Amino acid sequence: MNSIEIRTAISLSTVFAVRMLGLFMVLPILPLFTQHLEHATPFLIGLAIGIYGLMQAIFQIPLGLLSDRIGRKPVIIGGLTVFAIGSMVAASSDNIYIVLIGRAIQGSGAIAATTMALAADLTREDHRAKVMGFIGMSIGIAFAVAMVLGPVISHLAGLSGVFWTTALLAIMGIALILFAVPTPKHTKLHRDAGIMGDYIKPVLQQSTLLRMNASVFILHLLMTANFSVLPLIFRDHLQLESAQHWKIYLPVLAVSLLFSLPMIIISEKYRKIKTVFIIAVTFLIISQIVLALSPFSFYPLLGAFLLFFIGFNYLEAVQPSLVAKYSDVNNKGTAMGVYSSSQFLGIFVGGLIGGLVLQNWGISGVFIFSAFMALLLLIVAISLPQPDFFKNQLIKLKTHLLEKPSETTQQLLAIKGVEQVAISIEEGVAYLKIDKQQLVEKELNEFSTF
């Protein structure tokens, strides 16, 4: 990558991480403040956790489409400003209803799709996947950091301190967009990294992609529902102060990563993705059953918590890969946008129902509900077709090849290993799905300006 692309990767990853901290930092602490927020109930606490996701799901695609018309940076700066305002509103009150309003405002600045589109604007076609991977990695880092920072900050400065911190981080994000992130010369539509309005309906009509949307919806529902009760268990039954909760979160996340990484490698390298996917979902089911039966015993709880995050980390990494495999070559970006909205919708429903079940049926009730949802996820997993292990590739076409796109498409499809082709005349590129093991790269290179 050149210096602009490296700068883009680092600065946008930081902006993205700042944004996700706004969601993740409240997960391990908000349930602990039921008695400190006026009018708070477990249901309203769960709603406060989840409403962020609802607003993200509502505004993600519209703001992505808006950025195609008015530019990426204005939408991102506007979204971060809205996020900062919501943080300040939530920080300024000890009333649960004001916190709810603040969380809703926070979630309204949905900039994930726009950030990805800006990254695509600033990177060359052959380095785009690296930059996207860098940004994706920042989400995992943000989650781990939030699990440590959230409990520590809340112990030192209360819930308002957490929200003031997220407001400050949003302001830092705005500064990065203004002064660190390069400004693209042109705003383009990118089929692999942006949301295309014309492709939303076809994506919603593809049954396999709908199952992937259901899969990520349930996964994040489970995560949010679990975090509506786990902090309470750590404090009230294991007698751990909130500032000490990171001593459970961090080791569990680290060890689970050590187990999930080999699972990811086996899935991709040996093409066992569906088998390992089902195993990971089984881990989730077992973890919820153990937590339902023995939620207050330290070692069963720790083992179940670890098992949950092994499955969660694996699925969180592999599901986007499956979406790319199942989507058509020209609607990958749109498929990912709808997938992301489903993820945030799962966060909303998980917080909402988790709080409602906790209020009416207690802690074990939440885990019993989650076990049934994990079983539903297993049914979805079993129903998924075996994916083709084709790689997405993007090539910059020689100018004369754009004059006859239909003819060029047929010529590309004639190359051994090229499975799908979609040419974008506006971008001057060809989106391909290729079988890496079969591809004759020398023939493909003759079409490219690289």
Q: How far apart are CA 347 and CA 374, in angstroms?
A: 15
* 367 vs 293: CA distance, rounded Å: 9
Which helix (H) or strand (E) covers residue 431, if one does?
strand 429-434
* 8 Å CB contact between 417 and 438: yes
Q: Give the phi and the psi of residue 393 in degrees, each rounded to 5.
A: -140, 145
Of the candidates 394, 393, 387, the one whose C-alpha atom is nearest the C-alpha of residue 325 is: 387
Higher pLDDT, 122 or 307: 307
The whole-number pLDDT of residue 192 equals: 76
* Residue given tokens 């089929």 in the structure block: 191
Whose tokens are 């509103």? That residue is 89
Instruction: Note whether 238 and 38 are within 8 A (CB).
Output: no
pLDDT grade, residue 450 (50/70/90)? low
**CA dist., res. 26 & res. 31, Å (int):** 9
Q: Place 51 in a pLDDT band, splitting at 50, 70 and 90.
A: very high
Q: How many CA atoms lie within 13 A of 201 on its CB side?
A: 1
Predicted confidence at residue 197, as pLDDT, reads 78
- pTM for this model (two decimals): 0.92
Q: Computed from CA positions of residues 120, 124, 126, 129, in that sequence, does the dihedral angle turn out positive or negative?
A: negative
pLDDT, tens digit, 9 for 90 and up, residues 364-384: 999 999 999 999 999 999 999
State pLDDT tens for residues 216-267: 999 999 999 999 999 999 999 999 988 899 899 999 999 999 999 999 999 9
- Across the range 152-178, mean pLDDT stands at 92
| Structural domains of the chain sorted by starting position, each given as residue range(s) with its CATH number in brackets | 1-190 (1.20.1250.20), 196-389 (1.20.1250.20), 393-445 (3.30.70)
pLDDT score of 87: 95
Is residue 215 over pLDDT 80?
yes
pLDDT at 174 over 70: yes
pLDDT at 186 (0 to 100): 77
- Mean pLDDT in residue range 333-358: 94
Q: What pLDDT sits at residue 15?
A: 87
C-alpha–C-alpha distance, residues 357 and 417, integer Å: 52
Q: What is the mean pLDDT of residues 117-142?
A: 81
How far is Cα 361 from Cα 358, in angstroms, rounded to an integer? Answer: 5
Judge contact between 375 and 285, C-beta under 8 A: yes
Confidence tier at 361 by pLDDT (50, 70, 90):
very high
- Percentage with pLDDT > 70 across the chain: 99
Question: Which residue in 27, 48, 50, 17 sits closest to 246, CA to CA?
Answer: 27
Token duo for residue 321: 């890969």
How many whole angstroms separate alpha carbon 285 and alpha carbon 379? 12
Average pLDDT, integer, range 40-63: 94
Per-residue pLDDT tens digits for 386-425: 998 888 888 888 888 888 889 999 999 999 999 999 888 8
329: pLDDT confidence band, cut at 50, 70 and 90? confident
Task: Say what the pLDDT of residue 443 is.
Answer: 87
Give the chain's mean pLDDT.
90
Give the pLDDT score at 319: 93
Place 77 in a pLDDT band, splitting at 50, 70 and 90.
Answer: very high
Order of all β-strands in the sheet with 391-396: 391-396, 429-434, 418-424
Which amino acid makes up residue 270?
Answer: Y
* pLDDT at position 447 over 90: no
